């Protein structure tokens, strides 16, 4: 299979990723590090969290990501924190995801949650080559915006 070029970054297919040697580095933030013939590719946890958050908010019925007080303050100051409400745990080439979501009123929580889990798993596995072990969801609130 061939690599696909998207937005200036190469996306590896499953067969290409399977042939890569994996190792994890610990610094201020944990990064996934891959040794390839031409050098090393590192994926920061924040990138995986951003992918998860963006994928989750694409699902109909999800109003927004829920964050903690620090994240809410950052949002009120006009700064974007695209990985708020997302916790990532990376172990070798496996990742576990915890999402905290605000749902739109009137949608089925079980149905939307299942769609979010699938969308997040697919996005992370496609874009990073990591294997997603689990996507846990906490519904933190229900949005009444748009109601009369």
Q: List the chain domain ranges.
A: 45-143
3-state secondary structure of 145: coil
- For 45-143, CATH number out of 3.40.640.10, 3.30.70.1350, 3.30.470.20, 2.40.128.20 equals 3.30.70.1350
The angle, 0 to 180 degrees and rounded to 10, between the axes of the packed helices 109-128 and 45-57 is: 140
pLDDT digits (tens, 9 = 90+) for 1-42: 333 333 443 444 443 433 333 333 333 345 566 666 788 888
Whether the model pTM is above 0.85: no
pLDDT digits (tens, 9 = 90+) for 52-102: 999 999 999 999 898 754 444 555 555 455 577 899 999 888 999 999 999
Calculated CA dihedral for residues 13, 15, 21, 24, nearest 10 degrees: 40
* Predicted pLDDT at 1: 39
Q: Rounded distance, CA 110 to CA 93, Å?
A: 28
Q: Rounded distance, CA 34 to CA 72, Å?
A: 34
Q: What is the mean pLDDT of residues 130-139?
A: 97
* Predicted pLDDT at 123: 98
């Amino acid at each position: 299979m061939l690599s696909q070029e998207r937005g200036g970054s190469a996306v590896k297919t499953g067969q290409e990723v399977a042939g890569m040697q994996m190792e994890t580095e610990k610094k201020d933030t944990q990064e996934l590090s891959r040794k390839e013939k031409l050098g090393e590719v590192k994926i920061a946890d924040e990138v995986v969290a951003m992918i998860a958050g963006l994928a989750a908010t694409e699902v109909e019925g999800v109003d927004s990501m829920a964050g903690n007080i620090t994240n809410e303050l950052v949002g009120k100051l006009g700064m974007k924190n695209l990985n708020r409400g997302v916790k990532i745990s990376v172990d070798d080439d496996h990742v576990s995801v915890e999402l905290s979501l605000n749902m739109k009123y009137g949608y089925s929580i079980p149905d939307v949650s299942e769609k979010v889990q699938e969308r997040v798993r697919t996005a992370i596995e496609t874009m990073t080559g990591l294997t997603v072990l689990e996507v846990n969801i906490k519904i933190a609130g229900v949005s009444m915006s748009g109601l009369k």
